[in-house]
């Protein structure tokens, strides 16, 4: 009898832990923003890391546009690849837990699409098709910036 009560208590605690983790994974560490957006609250170093990644995405976008402008698909592929999933692998799990699910989804979508652009450039897709892919990718950037702001605590 004692064993089954202990097992039930253990299961209940495990379920509570999983539910709490899931809630934080989906919600992240958020607060009301200073405008119509939701603020993601981070430590200053975490905020700097996320903003640095965004600057990297902007730099890659510039490299893609430059490569398309001069007809250099190797440059397009290299720029896109620099912002692909390989750029997202080193993120701290504690930081990822603070980011709301839709923020993470938008970010991962951008990284995946950058890899897709690199593959398209390497396989000789025409510039207008790659521009269309980049336009679709930028829609995720715009949606993210329209929804979220980063705050330090």
Region 82-89: what's the mean pLDDT?
89
Asked if the model's pLDDT at residue 104 lies above 60, the reply is yes
Summarize pLDDT for 19-54 with one digit per residue, the tens: 666 556 555 789 999 999 999 999 999 999 999 999
CB 71 within 8 A of CB 130: no
pLDDT at 148: 96
* % residues pLDDT > 90 (the chain): 73
CB 80 within 8 A of CB 117: yes
- Going from the N-terminus, what domains does the chain have, and what CATH number goes with each? 28-152 (1.20.120)
pLDDT at 6: 73
Q: What is the pTM of this model?
A: 0.83
Region 74-97: what's the mean pLDDT?
90
> How far, CA to CA in Å, does 9 sit from each of 3, 14, 15, 16?
10, 9, 10, 10
Number of Cβ within a 10 Å radius of residue 44? 9
* Confidence band for 117, pLDDT divided at 50, 70 and 90: very high
Residue 83 phi/psi, 5° resolution? Answer: -115, 10
Region 78-94: what's the mean pLDDT?
88
pLDDT at 8: 74
Residue 103 phi/psi, 5° resolution? Answer: -65, -45
6 vs 30: which has the higher pLDDT: 30
């Amino acid at each position: 009898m004692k064993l089954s009560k202990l097992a039930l208590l253990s299961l209940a605690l495990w379920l509570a832990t999983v539910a709490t983790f899931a809630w934080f994974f989906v919600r992240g560490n958020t607060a009301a923003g200073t405008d119509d957006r939701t603020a993601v609250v981070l430590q200053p170093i975490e905020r700097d890391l996320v903003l640095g990644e965004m600057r990297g995405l902007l730099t890659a976008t510039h490299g893609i546009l430059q490569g398309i402008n001069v007809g250099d698909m190797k440059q397009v592929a290299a720029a896109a690849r620099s912002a692909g999933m390989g750029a997202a692998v080193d993120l701290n799990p504690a930081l990822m837990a603070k980011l709301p699910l839709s923020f993470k989804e938008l970010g991962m979508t951008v990284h995946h699409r950058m890899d897709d652009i690199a593959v398209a450039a390497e396989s000789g897709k025409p510039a207008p098709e790659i521009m269309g892919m980049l336009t679709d990718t930028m829609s995720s950037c715009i949606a993210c910036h329209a929804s979220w702001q980063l705050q330090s605590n």
